[in-house]
Amino acid sequence: MTNSGKGSGGANAMALGGLLFLLLRLLAIAHYHWDVAFALADSVNFDDVIGVVVGTFLGAGAVTAVILAVLLPIAYLHHIRHVRDREWQPHQLVMLGVLTGVFAAALITLRDWVTLLVVLAVSTLFVLIMMRSGPARTYLEKASGHLGVAVWLGMFALGALTDTVWVPQERLGLKDGSTVVGYVMDVHSPYTEVLTSHGREIRVLMSQNVVSRAET
């Protein structure tokens, strides 16, 4: 009964966290315009939180790299702490490897070497703190023991601070020769709903009037 209760509580926390992340995403991409965010809510599938998270994570490359630069040293400390206490699990090492690979891919793609320097500086600082006794070491050990909280805070920061939409920007050609640049949020017969890149407004087009679509 206790394990079942803990599992249910964890699932509820994940669901609540996903809902809050999605809410922050809607507000951020709408530039915190309440009416636009409300209109977007009608076109977003709330069951596709994973798609929104992955799209945001990959789309906001620079911000993602910075957040990973802060989280990775904490994650490594968390792993070292578990190894020292003989409590580590294989999946923790796999997770570290995946996060490191994602971070490396972001750095190579964006060529954001400044962020790499941030990681090295933060890691060096953490190592120096762990080598000496004092309140800073105690605080850092406590922080590394709450990796899940740090990850959620990082995700919320990613959701709130970047206006990158989780779908690619497109240029839509219309029958009258005009174009619309924005993000196709929903297509349902007979309408195509677009969030414009400039001004972040919702435009509802007749799908039959859209003659071309190309990513920009």
- pLDDT at residue 1, as a whole number: 45
Query: Under DSSP, is residue 8 helix (H, G, I), strand (E, B) or coil?
Result: helix
- pLDDT at residue 147, as a whole number: 67
**CA-CA distance, 184 to 207, in Å (whole number)?**
11
* C-alpha distances out from residue 156 to 25, 76, 127, 161, Å: 9, 21, 27, 8
Q: pTM value?
A: 0.66
Instruction: List strand residue ranges (DSSP E) for 24-104, in order.
Output: none
Residue 56: count other Cβ atoms within 10 Å of its Cβ.
24
pLDDT digits (tens, 9 = 90+) for 68-84: 777 777 777 777 777 77
Intervals of the chain under pLDDT 70? 1-11, 45-48, 88, 110, 112, 115-116, 119, 127, 130-131, 140-147
Phi and psi, residue 183, nearest 5°: -120, 125
DSSP-derived secondary structure for 134-165 = SHHHHHHHHHHTTHHHHHHHHHHHHHHH----
Residue 29: count other Cβ atoms within 10 Å of its Cβ.
24
Q: Which of 149, 129, 147 is nearest to 137 (CA)?
A: 129
